[in-house]
Structures are given as C-alpha cells and as structure tokens.
Chains A and B, each alone.
Chain A
C-alpha cells in the first residue's frame, strides 16, 4: 500500500486530529458543566425546573447532531446573526470564519452532548442508596447541600465509565464539524475521494488508526478510573 500521500500538504493529518482534540476538549468541558446543571434541574423539587430539564433533554437528544451543527451555522449564525468571533478589519476574513465555525461547532456539540451527560448522571443518582440522602436530610442539609455534598459526588463516581463512553462518542462525533467547514479527519477523507480515489484505503487506515489512538486510551483510562473510584458498598 502506498502511503506517499502522508507528505502531501493536502493531507494534514496532524492538523486534522489536533482539531479533533481541541473540539473534543472544549465541548467536553462545556457538556459536563451543562449536563450537571441539567441533571440538577431534572431532580430538583421545583416542578417547573424539572419540566424544563425534561423538555430540553428529550428535544436535543432526539435531533440528529448533523442537523444541530448545520443549524448552528446556517440558521443561528447565518440567519439570526449570532457572532462568536470578532471580525477585525485588515485581517484575513478566513481567520474570522475559522474561529466562528469552530466556536459554533463547539456550542452545537455542547448542546447535544450535555443531554447525554445529564442522563448518565441521573442514572448515577439512582444508584445512590436512599439512606444516604435521608441521612443527609436528617442532619439538616438543604436540597442543594444534599445534592452537592452527598449525592452528586457518589453519583458521578458511579457513572465514570458511562461518561467515558459519552466522551468517546463525542470524539467521534466531532467529525460532523466538517459539515460547517471545520477541517477535520472527515474533510481529509472527502479530499481523498476527490483527488486520490485510488489511495482511499490507505487514507482510511490512517484516519482509523488516528481515531483508535484517540479513543482507546480514553476507554481504558476511564475504565481504570471507574474501578479506582468505585463506591464500595
């Protein structure tokens, strides 16, 4: 198999996978924060918050990520005029588009992924024995204290492994950012189909190896982390 395309500047695999890492990193942080907030809403004693959380989760979880990402670019930015980057005069407009599209993609990933984080954490809350929350209430803690000090820390420890698979899914999902012009591994595949269709198997293998190299350590790492932090009962 001919891997000579690796030196071709058209195929910047390092750059593409660096983009994957960056997209995953920022989206994961945002999705975790929003996921925890959504989960807290869904278990809160205030019916309106519970309803809001349920509607948000059931809506965004069921819309294809492709549609969310394309809407972020074409509808939210294109038609409603959301600007997430500053266009500086005299600077190459491509730089503005690049950071604008990157941030739109991250926002889309956060919206979609946080619903899965929320559902994982909610499942984790169900694994915490009721006695823990009852004991916490008996010593006079308020709802936010029960949740923040007693229940959530145990719940999150219980769902480290599922959160790891959410992170892996997110890493793979970042390829969809190519739909709004963020140069990703999938862009390189499309370039390969366009210009070097005879080398597509080799290109595919390089991309596959890249994703295995990114996701395998995450899976193993989270598996080990889950085992280490398992709540012994």
Chain B
C-alpha cells in the first residue's frame, strides 16, 4: 500500500488518529453488545447446547445428508455452466452478426430469458420435461432453468469479450483476406475467451447460489439447502445446520471469487490487453456488461483503438 491510505482521506495525523481510535472503541463496544445480544438470545432458546452441534462430528450426518447435498449442488452448477457456455457463445456471436435476421432473434431470446426469474424457468422446465418424457426430473429442471438464464447472461459476456478485442486485430485479419467466420473463430474468439474467463468464473458464483432454488415449490431437487433441511429434521438442529450450510456456501463462493480475481490479475499483466470484468455488484447483468465495455473503452488501455 502506498503512503496514502485512500483518496478519500490523508494519512491520519495525531488528532485524526485519536478520533479514529475513539470511533473504533465506540463502534467496537456497539458491535460487542450486538454479538452478546445475539448470543444471549441463542442461549435463551437453547441453540448453543452441545447436543445441537455434535451431529456435525458424526460421519453419518455428512455421508448421508450434507456431502450428497453438496455434490448435487456442485453437479448441477457444473453441468449448467458447461451447457450454458456454448449456448452463450452462439447467442453472443449471433448478436454481433451483420445480418439483422440473425442479430434480432438472438437479441430477443437473450432479453426474454434474462427478464424471467430463474425459479419460474425451473418450474416451467420441470413441467415441460414431465409432459415430454413422462417422468419428472428435478435435476433436469434445475439445469434447464439455469442454462436458459445463464446462457443469456453469458451471451452478453461473450459479446463484451469479443467487442473488447482491439479493432486492429479484426482489421488486420480482414486485410489478410480471412472470411468473416475465420475472423471470428481463429482471431476474435480465442482472444475473447481468455479475456472473459474471470467474468465466467464470477458467473459461477451466481449459478452455485441459484442451484438452491431447486429445493423450492415441489421442484424437490436435493441440493445442499434441501439436504440440510432433511438432516436438520433428523437431528433436530435447524439453526446449527443452516449455519453450517451458510458457511459452506460462503467458503465455496469466496474461493470462486478469489479465483476470478486471480485470473483477472494474471490476464491483465499478461499482455496489457483489456479484461472483461463484470462487476459483482451489478450481479452480472446486461446493463453491467454494457457499462463495462464503456469503462474498458478508456484511453490508455489500447492506444491503437482510438
């Protein structure tokens, strides 16, 4: 860290240090009071008793409920992203097509599935799958719902990635006499794939969280949250189980988030080219992707583009 802590304030002098210390103490006391209050409520409702927490030391709890639930969550997330990526790439490329009859329908598909809640998509695919195949498949419902939504989001990521490749690249390719499909497949896509990797990994966080919808409203997919609920009714420890599950989710998603940041840094130092980064705060969305293209499009990133 440089000598200045932030652009918002200077390095604190003696007076500011004293004031910060006073605020720290007041805030710390309030925080301690809050924690004490929460703990006292937990204790008064008998949630801190050892027998509520010892089930997590039993191997059976993990092998019967929690680990299969975790596996189901990761499985659905992994399968969804593997199917959603090529669909997203196809839609993203289609949205950049020179032909309006390709561009417009792709745009409509992306906008349509992006506007509809994933839970609704899952419920719909659940019933459609049943109507077609005669058996209900919660896994298929969860995966189809996630693919429809994330395919459209990834389409925007791919589009942003392709647009972020310096224009000189495609101009040079055209000058060499490559066809449009060749420019896309051998020049633009390979470069876009590396620049959009961080965004794809951070989209995985959204996918992992959305698998939890699979346990709702008769979808009956035994993902981590639902498996935990079954475990909790077996051991009579709802609060501890949900707490442990929340911790598991936080650890998985923090790891994915860190991996995304690592990829982004690595790719940025690699060749100084732009990296498509979709701000997590904007929840990887179309508007965010567009915003990001504008932010990427600043002088200094790539002089030849100007």
**What is the interface of chain A, defined by CB distance below 8 A to chain B?**
43, 45-49, 52, 58-59, 61-67, 70-71, 74-75, 78-81, 116-123, 125, 127-128, 130, 133-134, 137, 143, 146-147, 151, 159, 161-162, 164-166, 168-169, 172-173, 175-176, 178-179, 185-187, 189-190, 192-194, 197, 200-201, 204, 207-208, 211-212, 215-216, 219, 222-223
Contact = CB atoms under 8 A, between A and B. Distances in A.
B170 interface: no
Given A197-B127, A212-B112, A79 B117 contact: no
Given A61-B280, A208-B120, A165 B216 contact: no
Given A176-B213, A215-B115, A66 B120 contact: no
B82 interface: no
A67 B242 CA distance: 8
Given A165-B288, A176-B213, A211-B115, A204 B124 contact: yes
A66 B215 contact: yes
Given A46-B24, A173-B117, A193-B127, A62 B250 contact: yes
Q: Is the interface of A mostly helix, strand, loop or mixed?
A: helix
Interface of B: 5-10, 12, 16, 20, 23-24, 27-28, 31, 41-42, 45, 47, 112, 115-120, 123-124, 126-128, 130-131, 205, 208-213, 215-218, 225, 229, 238-239, 242, 245-246, 249-250, 252-254, 257, 279-283, 285-288, 290-291, 295
Contacts of A193: 123, 126-127, 218
A110 to B, nearest CB: 16
A186 B123 contact: yes
Contact of B131 (A43, A134, A146, A197): A197
Contacts of A173: 117
A79 B236 CA distance: 12
Given A64-B209, A64-B213, A165-B283, 6 more contacts: A45-B8, A46-B23, A123-B281, A168-B115, A179-B216, A219-B287
9 contacts: A48-B31, A49-B24, A66-B213, A75-B242, A80-B45, A161-B290, A165-B286, A190-B218, A222-B287
Contacts of B246: 59, 63, 67, 71
A197 B126 CA distance: 11
Contact of A143 (B8, B28, B126, B215): B8
Given A67-B242, A162-B291, A219-B287, A116 B281 contact: yes
Contact of B123 (A122, A169, A189): A189
A162 B117 contact: no
Nearest to B246: A63
Q: Which 4 pairs from chain A and chain B are nearest by CB?
A: A119-B281, A64-B212, A62-B253, A165-B285
B287 A169 contact: no
A166 B286 CA distance: 11
